[in-house]
Amino acid sequence: GTRAIRLEAAARTERGNEDLLLTRDGAGDGGPILLGLPFQVPTLGVIGGLLLALLLIALAWRSRLQWQRRALLSVGLLLGIGSSVAGTALLADGNLSDWSGISPLATDPAGDSSNNDSAADLRALFAGLSGSELVFRLDVTDVENQPPVANPQAVTTLEDTPVTITLTGSDPDGDALSFAITTPPSQGTLGAITPLTATSASVTYTPSPDVNGSDSFAFTVNDGQVNATAPATVSINITPVNDAPSFTASNPPAVNEDAGAQSLAFASFSPGPANESGQAVLAYTVSAVSNPALFAAGPTIANNGTLSYTPAADANGSSQFTVTVQDNGGTANGGIDTSAPQVFTITVNPVNDAPSFTVGPNQTVLEDAGPQTVSPWATAISAGPPDEAGQTLSFNVTGNTNAALFAAGPTISPTGDLSYTPAANA
User: What are the tens digits of pLDDT across the range 331-344?
Assistant: 999 999 999 999 99
Over residues 180-185, the mean pLDDT reads: 98
**What is d(CA 164, CA 203) in angstroms, rounded to the nearest whole number?**
6
Structure letter (DSSP) for residue 340? P
In the predicted model, what is the mean pLDDT of the chain? Answer: 81
Where residue 393 falls among pLDDT bands split at 50, 70, 90? very high
Amino acid, res. 152: P
What is the pTM assigned to this prediction?
A: 0.61
The DSSP bridge pattern shows strands 178-183 and 68-80 to be unpaired
**What is d(CA 70, CA 72) in angstroms, rounded to the nearest whole number?**
7
Q: For the chain, which residues make up each domain, given as ranges?
A: 5-142, 149-239, 246-349, 356-422
- Output the pLDDT for position 143: 62
C-alpha dihedral sign at 298, 302, 304, 305: positive
Q: Kindly report which listed range (79-93, 127-141, 227-241, 371-385) carries the lowest average pLDDT score.
A: 79-93
Task: Note the pLDDT tens digit of each residue in 138-148.
Answer: 777 666 789 99
CATH code for residues 246-349: 2.60.40.60
State yes or no: pLDDT of 83 exceeds 80: no
- Output the pLDDT for position 139: 74
Backbone phi, psi, residue 276, to 5° = -115, 20
Over residues 288-295, the mean pLDDT reads: 98
- In the Cβ-directed half-sphere of 147, how many Cα atoms lie within 13 Å? 18
Q: How many CB atoms lie within 10 A of CB 221?
A: 28
Nearest partner of 73 among 85, 60, 61, judged by Cα: 60
Q: Kindly report which listed range (9-18, 41-50, 107-116, 400-409) carries the lowest average pLDDT score.
A: 41-50
The three-state secondary structure class of 345 is strand
- Output the pLDDT for position 88: 32
Query: Pick the residue with more confidence: 382 or 12?
Result: 382
Where residue 79 falls among pLDDT bands split at 50, 70, 90? very low
- Output the pLDDT for position 61: 35
Percent of the chain with pLDDT over 70: 73
Nearest partner of 215 among 227, 206, 224, 223, judged by Cα: 206
Over residues 115-134, the mean pLDDT reads: 68
**What is d(CA 342, CA 391) in angstroms, rounded to the nearest whole number?**
37
State yes or no: pLDDT of 137 exceeds 80: no
Where residue 127 falls among pLDDT bands split at 50, 70, 90? confident
- Output the pLDDT for position 122: 73
Backbone phi, psi, residue 386, to 5° = -55, -35
State yes or no: pLDDT of 329 exceeds 50: yes
Q: Which residues contact 102 (CB under 8 A, 6 or more apart)?
A: 96, 126, 128
Structure letter (DSSP) for residue 46? S
Q: Is 209 exposed, middle or buried (0-12, 13-18, 19+ CB in 10 A)?
A: exposed
The three-state secondary structure class of 115 is helix
- Output the pLDDT for position 111: 66
Where residue 156 falls among pLDDT bands split at 50, 70, 90? very high
- Fold that domain 149-239 belongs to in CATH: Immunoglobulin-like (2.60.40)
Where residue 119 falls among pLDDT bands split at 50, 70, 90? low
- Output the pLDDT for position 101: 73
Q: How many CB atoms lie within 10 A of CB 35?
A: 21
Query: Pick the residue with more confidence: 110 or 380?
Result: 380
Strand order in the sheet with 5-13: 18-21, 5-13, 68-80, 50-63
- Output the pLDDT for position 54: 39
**What is d(CA 186, CA 220) in angstroms, rounded to the nearest whole number?**
18
State yes or no: pLDDT of 232 exceeds 60: yes
Domains 149-239 and 246-349 share a fold: yes
Nearest partner of 424 among 409, 410, 405, 411, judged by Cα: 405
